[in-house]
Amino acid sequence: MRIMAATASLALALWPGALAWADGTALPGTRPLGTGGAMRAAATGDAGPMLNPSGISLVRAYTAEGAYQYGSRDSTHDARVSVVDSTSGLNLGGALFYDFHAASPGGVSQTGHLVGGSLSFPLGDLLFIGVTGKYLHYSTTKGFTVDAGLTLRPVQFLSLAAVGYNLTNPGGSAAPQAVGGGACLSPVPGLLLLVDSVLERISKDAANPQETRSSVYYVMGGGEYQAKTMAARLGGGRDGLHQNDYLSGGFSFVSGIGALDASLRQDISGGRKGTFVGVSLRLFVPAP
């Protein structure tokens, strides 16, 4: 597979002193950011290694992607590149990625890194399974952890997903153990209606010395409509960790060789409201 010869790098959105770096709730990716963070049942391209690795095999594609996100809450800067390939004869899929994160909470500079890879396996046209291995190196978390997911597609226009994050938890707040699920309905070609939820365990470590909760719950939903050369997204949800409600939206310009994506999330209630802006560039590599 050509992906094994590629090098990839990217950055997840980690809120320092908080949770949810490596479970897809802090940074779901530029496209999912526009749909409120919901895309676990349609996790194609780079959404696969970020949200649900089984989604890589849903479509045949070979995509290289670079992404950047800024978050106002703690002046976070996150850069990400990935390579995702599902063009093999059996529709097996794989991905490689590397993430870098920088932030300045309270004027204190912090950085973090994550590197890993994903594999996905289709079992006919009904069931898809996938696994992601990640190594994290951050001030609160250092170690190897694994995500595992599945996507069930009983009919062509409906997908259901379940995924577990950080199942071998290195024990820090950057990689909390979590379970998530989602559904995707496509009533007409080009239209995706999405709803997801995530239940996340809170890790008690130096980053959360006063945290009393044992778990938090996220709910998110939205839609995407893609025409030949453009796509538009809307969404929203509830951030269980920071107890903020938010709205989001995004768009893409699409051509035969790639796409330019942009998304915005704005908190509309709760304390410490934040604004998060993501952009990405996707390049479509022709299948052999």
| Total domains present in the chain | 1
pLDDT the model gives residue 20: 54
pLDDT the model gives residue 16: 34
Tell me the C-alpha distance between 64 and 49, whole Å: 13
Share of the chain above pLDDT 90, in %: 66
39-72 pLDDT, tens digit each: 999 999 999 999 999 999 999 999 999 999 998 8
* Confidence grade of residue 212 (pLDDT, cut at 50, 70, 90): confident
pLDDT the model gives residue 207: 53
Structure tokens at 207: 């980053």
Q: Return the CATH number at 32.
A: 2.40.160.40
Tell me the C-alpha distance between 208 and 224, whole Å: 36
252-281 pLDDT, tens digit each: 999 999 999 999 999 999 888 999 999 999
229-251 pLDDT, tens digit each: 999 999 999 999 889 999 999 99
Structure tokens at 241: 């960790």
Tell me the C-alpha distance between 238 and 96, whole Å: 30
pLDDT at 97 over 90: yes
Structure tokens at 83: 């390579």
Report the DSSP beta bridge partners of residue 132. 118, 147
Instruction: Confirm if 186 and 152 have CB atoms less than 8 A apart.
Output: no
Tell me the C-alpha distance between 36 and 223, whole Å: 9
Q: What is the pTM of this model?
A: 0.88
106-150 pLDDT, tens digit each: 666 778 899 999 999 999 899 999 999 999 888 767 889 999 999
Question: Where in the sequence is the domain holding 160, given as residue range(s)?
Answer: 2-284
Report the DSSP beta bridge partners of residue 159. 184
Reduced to 3 states (helix: H, G, I; strand: E, B; else coil), residue 228 is coil
* Confidence grade of residue 210 (pLDDT, cut at 50, 70, 90): low
